[in-house]
Structure 1
Amino acid sequence: MNTPPQLDSEFQKIILEKSQNFTKCEFIFTAINDFLHKCDRGYLTIVGSPGSGKSAILAQFASYNYNPDIKIIYYNAQIEGKNTAEEFIKYVCSQLIRKKEEIPDNATEGSWFFSLLLQQISDELAPKQKLIIAIDALDTINPNNQPLGTNLFYLPRYLPQGIYFLLTRRPFKTEKSSLLIETPSQIIDLSQHDLQNWDNDSAFIQHWQQMQGEGFSDIAMKILQVLATAENEGISASTILQRIDLTNPPILDADIFDVEEVLENWFEFLQQHQVNNEIRYSLYHSNFRDWLAEQLS
């Protein structure tokens, strides 16, 4: 297997910054190693709400890999200009071959060249060797630059032996994963573990802007006000509807479907709790809830 060239300077900076926020998560690395031993190829995805430490975990894994049989290629989709399939394919393929000029002009038109390289790498791997392509912030990818129905970043549907993808992303609904894969896969959900939240005010501002999109509707603003003052155990969609009907001025024509649509659009910023056969919603972290309550007041 070819040795990947020097890591991109922007990625080096990100890994250094993210590693400083690393918190002890031995269970994550145990789960990763278990997957690598159990499966001879596959996708492992770390899912967590904003600030849950996904990026720090991936940066730590990429930085401190002392296993000579494992090669890791790191990519961060959060960096400006790096969230398109074209940039991803060009970068990763340049890491997999010795000379950049060997990459054909149409290599970024789908996954054909990328998949070809992965198969060639696989054929060269010794029995214990593995190639891991680690992609941070898969949810930030811009899918509009790809044909409809293709996998994010043209990630392969099938993987040859010894090839793995280690992904991080925010919570998502399965039907909106934008990935169709037929190879071993596993998800590690960080919401099932009590981890420190690393978000700060600048991150909160960014999340708020993402939630607003092109602007808050009247009902979205009302729902946000309810969520910002909700109890720790969360609040159901029906209760949210009751409370926004009581606001001044009330939104008289709102119904439960309007509420659920807004909540679905904010899926990655919410936690869902099952209480007495009822789904209750709360903002992803109490720090963000308190920050929003202060802003809205």
Structure 2
Amino acid sequence: MFEKTRLFCGRDFVFKAIQKFFITQNKGYFSVIGDAGMGKSAIAAKYVLATKFPCYFNVFAEGRNNPEKFLASIRQQLIKRHSLQNADNADLRTFLQKASEELKGQKLVIVVDALDEVEQEGNGNLLDLPQNLPDGVYFLLTRRLYNQETKRLTLSPDTPVDELDLTKGDYTALSREDVKEYIHLFLKNDHKLRSWINERNISEDNFTQEIAVKSENNFIYLRYLLPGISEGKYNDLTLKGLPQGLQDYYTTHWNRMGMDNESNEKKVKILYILVERGEPISINMIAEILDEDEYEVKSVLNDWVEYVTPKLNADEQKTYYSIYHRSFLEFLKGQDKLGKGRKLFKEVNQSMANYMIKEIK
């Protein structure tokens, strides 16, 4: 959560809209909607840090995105928060009713991030969210843009609902101002980035304006690009030559790393394993699947460290890796549309299948 909020700034208009809904309604669902990388998870994390309300962050790349894990986490948080008794096996609606009875006039907000990353069969509400809520209970949801088929949130007529779409109307201009504030904050704290623009006789205001436009209001773009400039990865490019938008950034970085070269096929396969695995995986498992040296695998993951999340399993004293942001995972999946990508994806899947057969034996 610290990583999501480390350079958080702005978004006052979002929090004001959220608070207005919670004050004026006796219960209900409020959704923050936007494209991948627009800062929805950071908004959710910042709200949780400020309020200490229960939360659940769906993460597709780690397999943490189904109703069972959601309910188990929320149940545990609420039992601890309200000392609930005899609630271990209650469904979510019953559980929320018990929590509501303990509120004694206080509000309970449950924050659920990335509802679009949930994997769930059937036609009911995602995460089995209740159609009706007890008084004093609210859900703050974040999700990507959706159509009615993927929305999957059917509510009773007496359940208040509202949303804020970061891609629409005045919110676009407000988001652009927040992006500029983020860039100013980064410049203030990074002398190497200031040196980059000074060496090119670019004013800070001009740099901020140009990067804000190129970012397309995408904070993940800024999270990747600004440190990259600071680290000298774009010394051969002009301000105008920097990538336009998140997808162009991924494509530019992929090409600059020479990932389509035959000599880098091993590197591509290692990244593809992170895609196909669907949950965190250790270096030694990747090495065994591909019959590669662990040092080689670690070296590749280090080259892509800003795109990969390492997490230490304290019980095993082993580090597991997964894709940091779903937008990069989807970019990697998109490579299998190319002839070479399809070939390598097939080889990775075959290697993983062979590994599983060997483990079963």
| TM norm. shorter chain > 0.5 | yes
The 5-angstrom pairing of residues 80-159 of structure 1 reads 80-98=62-80, 102=86, 104=88, 107=89, 113-127=91-105, 129-144=106-121, 148-159=122-133
TM-score by length of 1: 0.58
C-alpha distance in structure 2 between counterparts of 1:63 and 1:125, whole Å? 20
C-alpha distance in structure 2 between counterparts of 1:82 and 1:25, whole Å? 27
Specify the alignment match of 1:78 in structure 2: 59
C-alpha distance in structure 1 between counterparts of 2:70 and 2:101, whole Å? 23
Specify the alignment match of 1:175 in structure 2: 149
Residues 22, 53 of structure 1: 8 Å contact kept: no
Specify the alignment match of 1:292 in structure 2: none
Q: Post-superposition shift, 1:169?
A: 0.6
**Pairing 1:28–2:14 present:** yes
Structure with greater strand percent:
1
Residues 4, 45 of structure 2: 8 Å contact kept: yes
C-alpha distance in structure 2 between counterparts of 1:29 and 1:168, whole Å? 13
Aligned residues: 187
Shift >4 Å, 4+ stretches: 98-104
Residues 20, 56 of structure 1: 8 Å contact kept: no
Residues 94, 103 of structure 1: 8 Å contact kept: no
Which of the numbers 202, 213, 219 marks the counterpart of 1:198? 219
CA deviation string 1:111-132 (max 9, x = no partner): x6221121122223233x1111
Specify the alignment match of 1:253 in structure 2: none
Residues 78, 84 of structure 2: 8 Å contact kept: no
Q: Partner amino acid for 1:35?
A: F
Structure with greater helix percent:
2
Question: Secondary structure of 1:64's match?
Answer: helix
C-alpha distance in structure 1 between counterparts of 2:102 and 2:84, whole Å? 20
Specify the alignment match of 2:164 in structure 1: 188
Gaps of 5+ in 2: 180-217, 225-249, 251-306, 308-324, 340-361
The 5-angstrom pairing of residues 29-44 of structure 1 reads 29-44=15-30
Q: Partner amino acid for 1:205?
A: F
Q: Post-superposition shift, 1:190?
A: 0.6
* TM-aligned CA distance change 1:123 to 1:100, over 3 Å: closer
C-alpha distance in structure 2 between counterparts of 1:211 and 1:173, whole Å? 22
* Bigger relative contact order, structure 1 or 2 (CA pairs below 8 A, ≥6 apart): 1
CA deviation string 1:198-244 (max 9, x = no partner): 223445532313556xx4389xxxxxxxxxxxxxxxxxxxxxxxxxx
CA deviation string 1:82-141 (max 9, x = no partner): 21111111111112224799554xx4xxxx6221121122223233x1111101111111
Q: Partner amino acid for 1:95?
A: Q
Q: Post-superposition shift, 1:81?
A: 3.3
Q: Matched residues, percent identical? A: 34
Q: Partner amino acid for 1:47?
A: I
* TM-aligned CA distance change 1:207 to 1:81, over 3 Å: closer
CA deviation string 1:216-274 (max 9, x = no partner): 389xxxxxxxxxxxxxxxxxxxxxxxxxxxxxxxxxxxxxxxxxxxxxxxxxxxxxxxx
Gaps of 5+ in 1: 1-14, 66-70, 219-297
Q: State the superposition RMSD in angstroms.
A: 2.4
C-alpha distance in structure 1 between counterparts of 2:160 and 2:111, whole Å? 16
